[in-house]
Amino acid sequence: MKLTSKLLMISASTLLGFGSIAPAFTANAASVKTASRAYQNSKIKANYRYAKNLMIKNKTGLSGKTTALFSKKANPTIGAASGYADLLVGLKGWGYKFTTTQKKRIAANLVINSKSTAADYANAIQGLKAVGLNPTKFKPAGAKKAVNLVSGLYRQSMSKQTPNVKSQVLLALTMSSTFKRPSNAKFSKTSLAKSLVKDQQSNNGWAYNNTAASVDSDTTSMAIAALAHSKSSLSAVKTALVKGQAYLKSNITASGAYGYVFNGKTVANANSTAEAIIALSSKQATVKYANGYFTTQQAASPLRAMLGYVNKTGSIKGATSQLIGVGQVNLATAAYRQALKGHSVYTVK
């Protein structure tokens, strides 16, 4: 999930619970395009193949200007290109078998040191867990001995972190039941969930800078996915999820996609739609909307709209970074298919 900021002007959301929002099955329902299984398979196959080749070739793109995916030289701060964690989790969600060579490449390049941020730790934990490496016994590039990244993340302060980072951290720490909180932790999963709930704005969404005017579907979707995956029993978390889901319902575009606001106009795109699909796939009560509809005024379901951005090669139309574009779309389709089976793409054994 990306940690970039996007501005989105929104309308007032209703406080309806998703469990009570039934699809409007009317005579106009046929006008909403959904993604048939054949259409899904064709687009997903191309996108997955592209994602897989990024991993095999260790590249951030397969044409034009591209750099190494995992490289301390190209990315001295973290040892990998931005978006690598989504790519790895998505591939794992589709059952990709990471080779020994690929695992060694990741281990030899990922950088975690005293300058690493909470986001760096969270991405590393997600990525390492996805490929089958142990984040609690990991030797980062340049380190003399193995370190426990989970403990290291727990020692990071969450007091001034953005909602995006908090969401990434919560997702990372809930990937495995074996991740233990150290005695000197600065926060707990419960306190982090509560903090994320407090960041929710009066218009039901979340914003990268914690202002109602900057609420966007990307940050909101990330918060929903994180809170849902935390499986918190807190009533405040459950209420926040209902409100956040209502925000997504109210802010889908006429095309069925999601986007961000630029110069007063919503720019629909594959990445924002992918984030929303991941959020919708985080609960059994809402996954039906990923390839369904909230209103018959939608031209298509979010899944159909997102897959419409997938080129024949598997690349993503309009993506400024194919690594991020392909990685997030692949993660979204994996999350959706896993959810249909009652599983979460973020739960990795």
Q: Is residue 94 part of a domain?
A: yes
Cα dist from 197 to 4, 69, 239, whole Å = 20, 34, 9
H or E element that contains 114: none
What pLDDT is stored for residue 17 in this prediction? 31
- What percent of the chain is helix, strand and coil (3-state, nearest 5)? 45, 5, 45
Domain boundaries, position 133: 67-156
Q: Is residue 11 part of a domain?
A: no
What pLDDT is stored for residue 1 in this prediction? 59
What pLDDT is stored for residue 142 in this prediction? 84
Q: Is residue 71 part of a domain?
A: yes
Q: Is residue 195 part of a domain?
A: no
Residues forming a β-bridge with 310: 316
Interhelix angle 270-280/217-230, rounded to 10 degrees, is: 30
CA 230 to chain centre: 14
C-alpha 166/C-alpha 143 separation (Å) is 26
- CB-based burial, 202-216: b 16+ in 10 Å, e otherwise: ebbbbbbeeeeebbb
Among 331, 327, 320, residue whose Cα is nearest residue 69? 327
For the chain (349 residues), the mean pLDDT of every run of 10, in chain order, is 38 28 41 96 98 98 94 96 98 98 97 96 98 96 92 97 98 97 98 98 95 94 98 97 96 95 87 98 96 94 98 96 98 98 95
Q: Is residue 216 part of a domain?
A: no
* Total domains in the fold of the chain: 1
C-alpha 154/C-alpha 173 separation (Å) is 9
C-alpha 106/C-alpha 215 separation (Å) is 35
Q: Is residue 123 part of a domain?
A: yes
Q: Which residues contact 41 (CB under 8 A, 6 or more apart)?
A: none
C-alpha 105/C-alpha 91 separation (Å) is 16
| pTM, rounded to two decimals | 0.91
What pLDDT is stored for residue 251 in this prediction? 94
**How is residue 151 written in tokens?**
């403990």
Q: Is residue 96 part of a domain?
A: yes
Among 169, 174, 260, 265, residue whose Cα is nearest residue 218? 260
Among 347, 345, 343, residue whose Cα is nearest residue 328? 345
CA dihedral 43, 44, 47, 51 (to 10 degrees): -170
Q: Is residue 138 part of a domain?
A: yes
C-alpha 112/C-alpha 121 separation (Å) is 7
**How is residue 65 written in tokens?**
């200007």
